[in-house]
Amino acid sequence: MTRIDSCFERLRGEGKKAFVAYVMAGDPDYERSRDIVLKLPEAGVDIIELGLPFTDPMADGPTIQRAGQRALENGQTLEKTLQIVRELRKQDDRTPVVMMGYYNPIYSRGVDRFLAEAKEAGIDGLIIVDLPPEEDDELCLPAQEAGLNFIRLATPTTDSKRLPAVLKNTSGFVYYVSITGITGAAAAEAVDVAPDVARIKEATDLPVVVGFGIRSPEAAESIAAVADGCVVGSAIVSEIGAGKSADEVAAFVATLAEGAHRA
């Protein structure tokens, strides 16, 4: 059982939904990014989603693209991203960390080396947005053999014919992308999300967590109410991009977590 599995089991026992917070590793620089990540568990974050900056982030909207650019310009690397997780693990051995990004940096490092280092650092799961199920031999299956969850994205265009392939080797949870398009592009609406979440839950026992388009405590509450949890990314990254301190970012995150936990 991974930290992700344990987290959802604990939340079910408490009658609560999961709040997942996304931040870009190294944004705006290593030190401030590390300080923000270290404060997330205290702010009520159940799962930390840590973005791995990449030069060509095709699924990301302008807010997260700019975050990745800031991180790369200030020298963020895959090694420094792993180091942030190591720093977190010195004080927190419970909160799951999911690395989200693209395959190229992992391929460049070497899959076996990356998985060994990720496991050692304390990463629990991966979301690699440009590896479809047809490429599971590349990273998904080796990651699961190494003890990491491989979390797949389902979208409004994932029909009943495609869904079994998406779910086949997914573990930890299913990440349902609530809108078509890039991150931060539109607002998620619970009334639109609920039928698709129900459809996915009929096909899997895994928790279904909804992301994209959630910007406020009220939105976090309404979306979490129709799923097993919610993800907020662009709204948090915007606060970081506006130059807010780690304490100010954590205070904002805490309001979102409270919203999700009210669901």
Catalytic residues: 49, 60
Count CB-CB contacts under 10 A for residue 75.
10
Chain mean position to CA 124: 11
Is residue 189 classed as helix, strand or coil in its secondary structure?
coil
Q: Residue 90 contacts by C-beta under 8 Å, 6 or more apart in sequence?
A: none
Strands of the sheet containing 149-150, edge to edge, are 149-150, 125-128, 97-101, 47-51, 18-24, 229-232, 208-211, 174-177, 153-154
Phi-psi group of 212: left, alpha or beta (phi > 0 → left; psi -120 to 50 → alpha; rest → beta): left
Q: Looking at this protein, which amino acid is placed at residue 252?
A: F
Q: How far apart are the first and last CA of the chain?
A: 26
